[in-house]
């Protein structure tokens, strides 16, 4: 396959080299002349501009720092799109804002070109080794076209569910990765400040959700199944968190993430179990429960779509219909027997202001 590759930086240079190694012709361009020269030494062809890199290629890959640069390379000063042949596919592997991804895809579609968003997971060392994780967002046909090239770049290719989903998953992933990086640094600094051996501390934490992650332990077992019954009381967890924050303060160690968690776990004027942490978890559980009920709701119809995107759309429509007709909440029981419910009217036929006052709970 003839591939154009724009962006031969920390990640891109190794990626392009692996695509060359897979037997593809790769025309590479970067604003750094040395990177282009290194690409040529790696067996690729050097381009003098983004436009030249797009000439007569089947696949044009962009791997750039941000969305503004991607747009400029494709539609602005780079004008790469002007040189694309009919049927050429654009693959943006940059990490950019999902709404920028959507806008670029729309502009390309208006010019007759399809796009796949396929940012990478893992590190620059994986990019060099060809062991990246690829989060691919595109139609099944376009992903099939890209697969031979993707297999040169990574060892894990995940279809994230349709156009735009690769970019979205990458941002969610990086949000958690970056936040956990800060938390990890604070945790190890605290352990060190109170005289713990770091290897021992890491060994202990590696056997608990501290390292094993709530994402793979408590959330699948409880929260994502709609179960918010406490396995450990938030007020006791808050007590432990307060001890850690106090201990760190006495050692002169700032715990930015700890302070944020403490604020979430104890809202103003509320008991710990009623605080913001419970409020953050409940929508996850409710959404899972409502989606489950929608899937068995008597108003739902079988999904005729063979694609993942189509099935997701069917689930969303079923859920909307379920909410519209069954008026389901977590307190209504089985939606098959739930009936549309209306609020009692205040005053006039069917209700009275006096009667309504009697029904209202006291706020005194």
Pair of tokens at residue 84: 């694309």
Residue with tokens 């895809």: 105
Residue in 170, 222, 238, 239 annotated catalytic:
170
* Residue 137: DSSP 8-state: B
Distance between CA atoms of 241 and 278, rounded to whole angstroms? 16
* Residue 32: DSSP 8-state: S
Q: How many CB atoms lie under 10 A from the CB of residue 310?
A: 13
Pair 12, 26: CB distance under 8 Å: no
Cα–chain-centroid distance for residue 59? Answer: 25
Distance between CA atoms of 246 and 298, rounded to whole angstroms? 54
Pair of tokens at residue 221: 């077992």
As beta bridge partners, residue 135 has 158
Pair 136, 146: CB distance under 8 Å: yes
| Residue 225 annotated to the active site | no
Q: Which amino acids are annotated catalytic?
A: 170
């Amino acid at each position: 396959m003839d591939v154009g590759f724009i962006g031969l930086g920390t990640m891109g240079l190794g990626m392009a080299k692996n695509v060359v190694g897979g037997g593809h012709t790769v025309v590479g361009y970067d604003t750094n002349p040395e990177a282009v020269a290194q690409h040529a030494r790696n067996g690729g062809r050097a381009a003098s501009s983004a436009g030249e890199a797009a000439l007569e290629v089947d696949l044009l890959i962009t791997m750039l720092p941000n969305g503004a640069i991607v747009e400029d390379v494709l539609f602005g000063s780079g004008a790469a799109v002007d040189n694309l042949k009919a049927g050429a596919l654009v693959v943006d592997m940059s990490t950019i804002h999902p709404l920028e991804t959507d806008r670029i895809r729309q502009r390309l579609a208006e010019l007759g070109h399809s796009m796949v968003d396929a940012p990478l997971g893992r590190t620059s060392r994986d990019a060099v080794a060809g062991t990246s994780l690829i989060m691919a967002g595109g139609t099944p046909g376009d992903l099939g076209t890209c697969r031979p090239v993707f297999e040169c770049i990574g060892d894990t290719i995940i279809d994230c569910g349709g156009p735009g989903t690769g970019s979205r998953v990458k941002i969610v992933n990086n949000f958690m990765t970056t936040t956990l990086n800060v938390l990890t640094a604070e945790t190890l600094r605290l352990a060190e400040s109170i005289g713990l051996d770091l290897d021992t501390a890491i060994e202990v934490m590696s056997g608990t959700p501290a390292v094993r992650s709530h994402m793979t332990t408590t959330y699948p077992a409880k929260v994502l199944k709609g179960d918010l019954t406490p396995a450990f009381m938030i007020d006791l967890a808050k007590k432990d968190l307060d001890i850690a924050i106090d201990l760190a303060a006495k050692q002169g160690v700032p715990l930015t993430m700890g302070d944020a968690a403490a604020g979430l776990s104890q809202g103003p004027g509320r008991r710990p179990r009623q605080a913001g942490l419970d409020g953050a978890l409940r929508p996850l559980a409710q959404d899972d429960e409502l989606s489950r009920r929608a899937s068995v709701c008597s108003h739902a119809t079988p999904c005729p779509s063979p694609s993942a995107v189509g099935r997701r759309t069917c689930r969303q429509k079923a859920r909307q219909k379920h909410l519209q007709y069954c008026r389901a909440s977590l307190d209504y029981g089985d939606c098959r027997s739930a009936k549309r419910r209306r609020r009692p009217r205040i005053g006039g036929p069917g209700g009275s202001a006096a009667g309504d006052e009697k029904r209202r709970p006291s706020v005194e």
